[in-house]
Chain A
Amino acid sequence: MMLNQISNITKVTTKLKHKPLQCLLLVASLLFTAHIVLAEETVKAEKPVSQLTVTVKNPPSTNGVHIGDVLRRTVVVEAPTAMTLAENALPKKGSKHDGIELVGVALQSQPQSGHTQYTLQLSYQVFAVSAYPSVMHLPAQKLTFTGAAASTVEVPAWGFWFSPLVTGGTATARKNLLPEFKTPLIDSRADQQRLGLFLTLLVASLAALLYINADGHWLPFMGGAFARAHRQLKRLAKSSRPKTAVEEKKALVYLHQAFNQHYGANIFARDIEEFVNLRPGFKGLRSEITQFFEASNQSLYDVKPRDSRQVIAQLVQLSKQLRDCERGVA
């Protein structure tokens, strides 16, 4: 691995054809700083800036490269100000070499004190085909500098192992083909249970509210005798007709009918005890029921005038209490 890094971060010294002594010095300095190479991906060439310094950063891995992969090399050149990189000599985008196509060329130059730093980004895409793993290379490139002292920098080829997607062709692939398995689903049972519980509670609460308060009889168990009497009494109380003794008697009839229906026979004041024993849900209203029968007797059989409006209003209240008992919510 370490060796790979060393090889990846290769220091390339420019070929200074006319200055062999400088070249030797440069090699010596590289040897002295080898330990630094182990720790860093890139190493800058020694200055002075009177000479070209080249740093190449290659792709991180030399193996496992498949068709279609894009490999990027970054070349950083520090050149004396007097020297200029010839852009027209740069490799052309789209050029191919052994099935590897240069798909991107990007150059940046940054003037600095006494020199210029060129950063060249080369992107290669692998289109080579091989049935077996094989060594391939990103091609070597030459960078040409012009100026007072024209020079050329060579970026060496970089080898890597190409791995075919399928080893040995489709026949082998078929053999090795693993059956497609269903992607495991996220377990949402707990959430579903919570949602179901919530929805059940919601529906139950709504039904309970409806059951307790609704005047209508949308459901069969809401059409009890007292519920019906309560509706009739409310309608009677709200009607614009004057509240005469006749209306009062009608109101009493509604409630008596409800009592009769629950009792299963004609009920009178003497039957109240038996009634509450038969329908224990109404025990809590025993005194109110007794008062109702007394008031009813006075209204229906005593020949004395009464405030019919008030009587009807009281009957509406009583019928609501009785309806609550009937629905078991009192």
Chain B
Amino acid sequence: MSAPLDIQLADWRNHALNLEKQVNQVIVGQSKAIRLMNIAIFARGHVLLDGGVGVGKTTLLQSIARGIGGAYERIEGTVDLMPNDLIYHTFLGPDGRPQIDEGPLLRAGENLSVFFFNEINRARPQVHALMLRVMAERHISAFKKEYRMPHMIVFADRNQVEKNETFEIPSAARDRFMMEIPIEIPADRELKKSLVFNTKFQHAEKLTQQVESDILKFDQLNAFSDRLQDHIQSSDVLEEYTMDLWDATVNPEKFGVTMDSVDISRLIQAGASPRGMGMLMKAARVNAWLNGRDSLYPEDIHAVFHEVISHRLVFNAAYENRRTALARELTNNIIRTIAVPSLTFSKAA
């Protein structure tokens, strides 16, 4: 017989905060990214990481994977990577005969908890297609049998700086990711000095080993996530506010949202999708739970709004090359402008 929900929620919350604390001890200056990744884990959403080279993405992911428990797999995106490279690879066995082994996607089977796709935009669209299908369905047929990966979360990295020999992920594919989380070099000078001069940060493997393993029990996360999502309530005011936010991603000028650098009426081609808004609320509920609440507050939405929504917005082609900055400005301005509680709600009431 399982423990009462309140106790489960409190226990899991302690575990989640413990994971955050331990990862924060080995990865410095990334507390916001770690909180967002924690949210994604409990909301069961895949994550697109956006960051430069050598900022500690792999160490971060390995640390989190260790805390979650389960298997961690990784593949590098290259221009010649083919979909079957994810499923299997061939080699000559000791007897000199060719052999086939399961690829990184299948190798761990149901124990796979974290799959890291490094530089996903260097892989061809065929690879994207396979990956996105696995992300959505969490199972795949190979070797005449069904492989299930129910506990898998994909963390994909894309290099936004280099554009040569890259294949941009289409908007429909980006929509499958719950969040796009920026991993940036810490702004604090002392932290940066520590990263450079403190030798403990030179040994990624040793750092990862400092994180306690199996803090979360990866194979229980799906069930707990469902209970968590059912538990967190949202009021009618908040639901109206969410609808306003959604409309504002489609038609920001209707709500008086402005931007300094662009004509906002020409900026957006498509706003957030229903799936995107659903993921926004899932992530917001996790944030509310991590803050010890049973109800959603606007602050919970704000905590994840940019990371859940910005990569889903489709800008007109003229603005795509400034996507990162414009998306940040737009989401900030939407939050600053859309009033909650609003007079519209008051009048309607």
Contacts and interface: CB of A to CB of B under 8 A. Distances in A.
Interface string A43-66: 000000000000000000000000
B345 A265 contact: no
A268 B302 contact: yes
A269 B336 CA distance: 13
Interface in A2-33: none
Interface range, A side = 10 to 19
A237 B234 CA distance: 27
Interface stretch (A101-109, A114-122, A149-157, A253-261): A253-261
A257 B343 contact: yes
A209 interface: no
- Chain A CB count within 10 A is highest, among B234, B238, B295, for B295
A37 B237 CA distance: 119
A303 interface: yes
A301 B343 contact: no
B308 interface: no
Given A249-B349, A268-B299, A300 B339 contact: no
Contacts of A257: 339, 343
A275 to B, nearest CB: 13
Given A249-B346, A265-B336, A266-B336, A256 B341 contact: yes
Contact of A249 (B295, B336, B341): B341
Contacts of B233: 302-303
Contacts of A252: 341
A269 B300 CA distance: 12
Contacts of A260: 339
Nearest to B237: A300
B235 interface: yes
Given A300-B235, A300-B237, A303-B295, A266 B349 contact: no
A108 B342 CA distance: 107
Contacts of A302: 233, 235, 294-295
B296 interface: yes
A249 B343 contact: no
Given A249-B349, A268-B298, A256 B339 contact: yes
B337 interface: yes
Interface string B306-349: 00000000000000000000000000000111111111011001
A67 to B, nearest CB: 94
Nearest to A270: B299
B88 interface: no
B201 interface: no
Interface string A139-164: 00000000000000000000000000
Contact of A301 (B235, B337, B339): B235
B341 A300 contact: yes
A237 B107 CA distance: 67
Contacts of A246: 349
B297 interface: yes
A250 interface: yes
Contacts of B336: 265-266
B339 A297 contact: no
Contacts of B298: 268, 301
Contacts of B335: 266
Interface in A221-275: 246, 249-250, 252-253, 256-257, 260, 265-266, 268-270
B342 A301 contact: no
Interface string B220-249: 000000000000011101100000000000
A204 B338 CA distance: 42
B295 A253 contact: no
A269 B302 CA distance: 12
A184 B238 CA distance: 81
B328 to A, nearest CB: 16
A266 B341 contact: no
Contacts of A256: 339-341
Nearest to B238: A301
Nearest to B335: A266
Contacts of A268: 298-299, 302
Interface string A284-308: 0000000000000100111100000
Contacts of A269: 299
22 contacts: A249-B341, A249-B349, A250-B349, A253-B345, A256-B339, A256-B340, A256-B341, A265-B336, A266-B338, A266-B340, A268-B299, A270-B299, A300-B235, A300-B237, A300-B340, A300-B341, A301-B237, A301-B298, A302-B233, A303-B233, A303-B235, A303-B295
Interface of B: 233-235, 237-238, 294-299, 302, 335-343, 345-346, 349
Given A252-B341, A266-B339, A301-B235, 11 more contacts: A249-B346, A253-B341, A253-B345, A253-B346, A256-B340, A256-B341, A265-B336, A268-B302, A300-B238, A301-B297, A301-B298
